[in-house]
Amino acid sequence: MNLADQPVAILGTGSYLPAKALSNDELSTIVDTSDEWITSRTGIKNRHIAAEGEHTSHLATHAAKKALEQAGITADQLGLIIVATITPDTLTPATACYVQNNLGAPQAVAFDISAACSGFLYSMKIAENMIQTGAVDYALIIGAEKLSSFINWKDRTTCVLFGDGAGAAVLGASIEGTGRILATDIGTDGKQTHLLNIPGGGSAHPTTEENVNQHLASLSMQGKEVFKHAVTRMKNSANTVIARAGLEPSDIKLVIPHQANLRIIDAIADRLTIDNKKVFVNLDRYGNTSAAAVAIALDEAHRQEKFERGDKIVLVVFGAGMTWASAAIEW
Ligand code: UT7
């Protein structure tokens, strides 16, 4: 059988959260904040923080092993590994190279992509296309972040929002017709780079003592502006894939959105006219894990059997860039 003739499907998912949890109450002993403020403004109650010496590639590897196991694929069958991250182990080589070595996947070409919180669905699109063209049979896509290393822990406007974690999926031809990707949408608006960024550590602001002291290597965000863009872009993108898949909002069993803020998620559900009971939320436990967020949520929803064979689900994300993406999947 020619695998390239088959629709592309998600064959397995996995996720990993580091052991240490950090609650809102614990955070309020570090910065001037409160459980009441964080919960009412964001819905976040808790986040996980990687241990010292536990790098993004380690989180990614744990998630990947679970996805491979569920897919029934061994690492040496992989032709492609993409790690979506804004918190790589090193600027170079790519985090995906460490993961390739950790997994023992010598046949896989491995690289990172930087599309912030949208990276996992950008990776899905790239992997889908490479499988469809016959370039690879099996692809591993991972969203993995150790944001705790890029947070200014004295800045209450950002440090309460983010957490560490990883989620993964194995993609291949849909031989049994399950997990099929029906439609995708990806987009970028480079006019908004200033709204959400980590300005330092690159060629614009190299790692000098002065730049580090000014916290330029920490995440910086204009929250209110990002909020507005997030609602509009995610609503439009989700509507686009629903229409491209020939579906109506009422056909969707579950929406799995980027996990940044419960108010954003509720606003999107409202605008999509989808009951918010059909929207998966886990940001209360993990905060915003950027590229990992939708991947972790997909894995949890899958393992909790929130959808079954034949159900249509929509993934929708938004992040720095600005970037956005969606996928409609028939499970
Ligand atoms: O993953 C990429 C996508 N990211 C997002 O989608 C994030 C989008 N933005 C948001 O989720 C929200 O804008 C935030 C949660 C970041 C902020 O919520 P907000 O309702 O927009 O609050 P704000 O920034 O307008 O701040 C309101 C007040 C300010 O005080 P004043 O000026 O009214 O006196 C802040 O200083 O809340 C204050 N504040 C805090 N107070 C207690 C800001 N952070 C905190 C805090 N604890 N942690």
pLDDT in tens, 53-96: 999 999 999 999 999 999 999 999 999 999 999 999 999 999 99
Q: Which protein residue's CA is at the shortest distance from atom 14 of ligand 1?
A: 223
Task: Tally the residues of the chain.
Answer: 331
Q: If you average pLDDT over every residue of the chain, what do you get?
A: 96
Phi first, then psi: give them for residue 168, nearest 5 degrees. -145, 160
Work out the number of other CB atoms within 10 angstroms of the CB of residue 92: 8
CATH class of 181-330: alpha beta
Report CA torsion sign: 280, 169, 133, 109. positive
* Confidence grade of residue 179 (pLDDT, cut at 50, 70, 90): confident
pLDDT value, residue 304:
98
The domain locations on the chain are 3-178, 181-330
pLDDT value, residue 5:
58
Cβ of 159 below 6 Å from ligand 1? no
Specify the pTM.
0.97
12-35 residue pLDDT tens: 999 999 999 999 999 999 999 999
Q: Is 280 exposed, middle or buried (0-12, 13-18, 19+ CB in 10 A)?
A: buried
CA dist 69 → 35, 87, 163, 237 (Å): 38, 26, 25, 32
Do the domains 3-178 and 181-330 sit in the same CATH topology, yes or no?
Answer: yes
Mutation choice for ligand 1 from 41, 86, 195, CB with most ligand atoms inside 8 A: 41
What CATH number was assigned to the domain covering residues 3-178? Answer: 3.40.47.10
97 as an active site residue: the answer is: no
